[in-house]
Chain A
Amino acid sequence: MPVFNDSRKNVVKLIFISLFVIIVFRLFTLQVISSKYKILAEDQGTFRKVIYPDRGIIFDRKKNAILQNTSISDLMVTPNKLKGVDTALLCRILNIDTAQFRRKIVELIIKNGRSRPSVFEALLSDEKMALLSESLYKLAPAFYLQERSIRTYPYEAAANVLGYTAEVDTNFLKKHPGEGYVAGDYAGMTGLERSYEKILMGVRGIEYWKRDNKNRLTERLENGKYDTSAIAGQNLYSSIDIELQQLGEKLMKNKLGSIVAIDPKTGGILAMVSAPTYQPNYLTGSERRKHFSELFLNPALPLLNRTVSATYSPGSTFKTLQALIGLHEGVINTDTKFSCGGAFYGCGSGKPMKCLDLGTFDLRGAITVSDNTYFANVMQRVINNPKYPTVDSALSHWNQYMYSFGLGHKLGIDLPSEKTGNIPTPKYYNKVYGKGRWNYCTFRSVSIGQGEVDVTPIQVANEMAYIANKGWYVIPHVIDSIEGGDRYHLLDKYKKKIEPTDIPDTIFEAVHDGMEGVVDHGTGIGAKLKDIIICGKTGTVENYYKGIKQQNHSFFCGFAPRKNPKIAIMCVVENSGHFGGTYAAPIVGLMIEKYLNDTISKDRLAKLEQLSNLNLMPPRIKKEIKIQDSIRNSKNLSSLLAKGYIKSVKDTVGLDDDQPDKEEINIIRESSHKKEPSSKEMIIKDKAFIQNQKRSVKNKKQSKP
């Protein structure tokens, strides 16, 4: 036994211990110090699955669901089960070729891996769905259908009020950080869907899943200990009367314009028509993209909610407010008379403002026949009132009145993109003409609602509610209540009366008298109903587009019944020509009848149809639509040409028969040289159109001195 080697046992022990120490040290750095591996493990080992709750449902005032959810299917594929599946059959059903199919599958494998189901085609159309469910057993288990929830509009109405949802884009994500949105989510983009997004979306749930090495979700992490459950969106109860809304949309078919009806007692909006409107179900489901681009490029701008986003000069409807101011300021009383000798000569005879009904009128009469001279005089008295030292202060005072009536500022309605409109201020004129270089005569057209005054339809309707209530209004709104409580206090401001100016009832009575006369025997006789007293006011608004005078807008606003008013309403038909009483008044008459009597009497149904069938689309828009259609056709045709279809048709049919084809192709060749107007240009154009009067008036004024 070699005793001298005895010390070597310690060397051996040392080797053992030192290597173990190295290992423990390494384990310490890996497990305790470094956090890199924990993050990596979390990334690959767990999956945060977001559970989308159902969006809230929107009901109308009679508790009919006007916006709710339905399910539609996605076709799912698990690539590693594809072997032996009849892909040709699938390609035939989905109308794609095998190369496309293969490319799609490869994309999905790169994105999600082979073993994890991915969406092969999202939101199947009904037609494909029917074909697929028939032969799905041949495609299983590689393919299966998965339901998902989408929005649906059962009445196919109120598109612009309800709005639509769409996939969020990067811009949206930037604007709403920390609200839990990720790319691919849907969010409300317009209308109520947008303004009540927070409430409708509900609370997203999160499930933590374990994920395996093939990217499959295996089971819940710790039996769902860390999960949060999804809470469905809250339902909204609106004040919309969906039947009234449908009637309004029917009446405004083939017209540009708006109808807004408000319950003056509550401020709840009963109907809100923006014409042309669109089929809201087009913007859900499988064909969304196609429909959206069509609507987006449509020159008549169906996606624009004109009731809040378009501004017009109010025209003669403005006179009711002028009367209120005049009476309250004491510059006139109900018996003050002015006579119309053909025009208003209060500013000299340079360019007199015409009046149509010759004669002498008191206030009631002046409202009834819409006498321009009368109100030109009233406003002249208000502005030149000796009570105020300067024209500046008088105009500011006048401006205060208008502001308190709800004009010149956003009302705060619960719909997005509300416009402020415009009520001229001294500051504005100082800027345009220079301080002290303007007087009442400079802006005398404002007295009859032309010139620099701009209002939105909702403002006009609200002003009617204000007059109907004799001095107060509630901010107009669509949503009355939220099921389960108003957590974000969105509705608080719609619960209180706004009583801006203390105007005595007698003044309102006088204006009501005049407005009753308008419908009874005045300019708005078209709105007259048998047993309901309507107070109304017509407006015939001159307007310009790119400096060229266009057909007049037809305005009518009013409320009914006179005692205990239940509906305040306004209607504008753009570029209809003729007078406010011609188109807008009968439309309003029918709307009021429908709302108050719940039905339209039989003898007036013919009138309804006649109005509904009228095509008052301005020729300018018609022309633009025509141009666009031909461009689209040319695109289709040229793609056919490119594919050689036309040639093969020619070969078979022979040259003589394709005369029309040839012509069309020629048109296409010409039009395809033109650049297709981009959507942006269109919108800019329309903005210009909507605010045309203002600019043209300004131009005129500027060229004058």
Chain B
Amino acid sequence: MYQQNKIGSTNKDWVIIGLYALIAMIGLICIFSVEYRSNDEVIKSILGFKKNYSKQFYYFLTCIVIATFILLTDSKFFTATPNLLYLIGILLMLATFVVGKTVNGSKSWIPLGFMNLQPVETCKIFASLALAKYLSQPDLDFSKTKSQLIASCICFFPVIFSLLQNETGLALVYFSLLLPMYREGFPAVYLIIGAFLGTLLVATLLLTSVQLIVSITLIAVFIIYFLNRKIKRNKKILFTIISVWIISLLFSVIAVPFIFKHVFQKYQADRIFSMVGRDNPYSNDNPATMNLDTPLKNHAKSDNENYNVKQSKIAIGSGGFFGKGFLKGTQTQGDFVPEQHTDFIFTSLAESFGFVGCIVLMGLYLGLLLRIVFIAERQRSTFSRVYAYSVAAIIFFHIAVNICMTIGLAPVIGITLPLMSYGGSSLLTFTVLIFILVRLDADRQMVLR
């Protein structure tokens, strides 16, 4: 126990390591099932570095090596260098504008020979560390607006680069760092307002205005009914609820349509709607007066966007309760779901193993998240706690958005499923995120930061 051999240290949280390995393995199997066709020579393909599953296999091996290095590194390294690392991250992002490689329409990749590195992706680690470092300053009073503003800046600075590189999805991930800030005392109001607006926006996109008015009103009525006693004591609450109700109605029924009709270009609006798999309801297209060329093109494009969500839903829905069995998914084998090995990897699992398989995976993810929260709360140092919450928040955001977009609850923005999706950059980022946490957690008894 008191041996200084750090690798053999029993302090390491094997639950997290186990969950990590399990989910990564499931990911490998899913990527394999996406690509494998009968008559493929599996061994040859795995050794050949030709197929995605063989590449991912090697990425995984690389990640294990890197994870080992992280576990061998002194934990003081991570507490000492965040500012430097953050700076390097920013520089890497700037470098993409010079030496960047375009993959899937966004110039955000740096070619490293055997793999491509996406700085926006890896910068999540540095941002988390930097935030932890800033919040763990002994003399910091986080209730001050100034320090709140600085923390926000650390979190949201990389967003600018992400947006410039046309990676909207990854940019949104940085907003998940609001969660550790909330844990450290950031006023809940901002979080609630943000979540509220976000939900309302998505709901506006997903539902028709009649459905929306009815559901908002129903929610308001329910809240008034449940808070009946409090309202009797304090009339202000009723006033607040009613004003929020009115504002949301105005927002969704007047503001959103107004924005879609007059602020956005038609193609932009179409694109946003097609992300959730709907036709643009505010489109003024009258088939009789349509110009022959342009609408057709737009139409084809929006069809194309719809196609992803539709195919994804078909694949998931056709899995049924027990699934079709490993390598027996007709939708997977027929290449119906686009980008199935990356963003839509969940569909292959859902088709092959059905609702049961989904429940198991969701259970594993929830276990991982709750374990991280548990670890966070047992830390003596603010640095470790903030970092742990950052990791949990980032992973949670990825899981939630990715799965929601495959089942049509969120717009399709390119966000990977942690540890499952194909891609060295993504797997490496999550490996490093998790193993730094494991390393910090292993030393929780030794240093008080």
Where the two chains meet, the residues of A that have a C-beta atom closer than 8 Å to any C-beta of B are 1-2, 4-5, 8-9, 11-13, 15-17, 19-20, 22-24, 26-28, 30-32, 34, 36-38, 40-42, 44-46, 210-214, 218-219, 221-222
Chain B residues with CB under 8 Å of A41's CB are: 314-315, 317-318, 330-331
> Is B142 among interface residues, defined by CB-CB distance under 8 A?
yes
Query: Which of A38, A40, A213 touches B335 (beta carbons < 8 Å)?
Result: A213
Contact A212 B407 (CB under 8 A): no
> Given the complex of chains A and B, what is the CA–CA distance between A5 and B377 in angstroms?
11
Chain A residues with CB under 8 Å of B369's CB are: 16
Having A30-B317, A37-B314, one finds 10 other A-B pairs with CB under 8 Å, namely A5-B184, A9-B183, A20-B365, A24-B358, A27-B358, A28-B355, A31-B355, A37-B313, A44-B336, A45-B334
> Given the complex of chains A and B, what is the CA–CA distance between A8 and B389 in angstroms?
12
> Given the complex of chains A and B, what is the CA–CA distance between A394 and B325 in angstroms?
81
Contact B142 A45 (CB under 8 A): no
Closest to A39 in B: B318
Q: Mark B304-320, 1 if CB is under 8 A from A, else 0.
A: 00000000011111111
Contact B396 A23 (CB under 8 A): no
Q: Mark B348-388, 1 if CB is under 8 A from A, else 0.
A: 00100011001100100110011001001100001000000
Closest to B319 in A: A31
Query: Which of B313, B331, B396, B404 touches A30 (beta carbons < 8 Å)?
Result: B313
Query: Which of B333, B370, B377, B396 touches A210 (beta carbons < 8 Å)?
Result: B333
CB contact under 8 A between A212 and B335, given known A1-B382, A20-B366, A27-B350: yes
> Is B38 among interface residues, defined by CB-CB distance under 8 A?
yes
B435 to chain A, nearest CB (A): 21
Chain A residues with CB under 8 Å of B184's CB are: 2, 5
Closest to A16 in B: B369
Chain B residues with CB under 8 Å of A221's CB are: 330
Contact A19 B334 (CB under 8 A): no
Closest to B377 in A: A9
B199 to chain A, nearest CB (A): 11
Contact A45 B331 (CB under 8 A): yes
Query: Which of A13, A37, A218, A222 touches B316 (beta carbons < 8 Å)?
Result: A37
Residue picked from A34, A45, A212, A219, most chain B C-beta under 10 Å: A45
Contact A5 B373 (CB under 8 A): no
Contact B336 A212 (CB under 8 A): yes
CB contact under 8 A between A27 and B400, given known A2-B142, A8-B182, A13-B370: no
A44 to chain B, nearest CB (A): 6
> Is B392 among interface residues, defined by CB-CB distance under 8 A?
yes
Contact A12 B392 (CB under 8 A): yes
Interface size range of chain B in the complex: 35 or more
Closest to B141 in A: A2
> Is B179 among interface residues, defined by CB-CB distance under 8 A?
yes
> Is B409 among interface residues, defined by CB-CB distance under 8 A?
yes
CB contact under 8 A between A12 and B331, given known A2-B185, A19-B400, A31-B317: no
Contact B373 A12 (CB under 8 A): yes
Chain A residues with CB under 8 Å of B362's CB are: 20, 23-24
A7 to chain B, nearest CB (A): 10
Closest to A36 in B: B317
> Is B236 among interface residues, defined by CB-CB distance under 8 A?
no
A571 to chain B, nearest CB (A): 64
Counting from the closest, the 9 A-B pairs by CB-CB distance are A37-B317, A45-B330, A41-B318, A212-B334, A31-B355, A30-B317, A213-B335, A38-B318, A213-B336
Contact A16 B370 (CB under 8 A): yes
> Given the complex of chains A and B, what is the CA–CA distance between A13 and B179 in angstroms?
11
Contact A219 B38 (CB under 8 A): yes
> Given the complex of chains A and B, what is the CA–CA distance between A42 and B403 in angstroms?
23
> Is B321 among interface residues, defined by CB-CB distance under 8 A?
yes
> Given the complex of chains A and B, what is the CA–CA distance between A554 and B317 in angstroms?
76
Contact B318 A37 (CB under 8 A): yes
Chain B residues with CB under 8 Å of A218's CB are: 37, 333-334
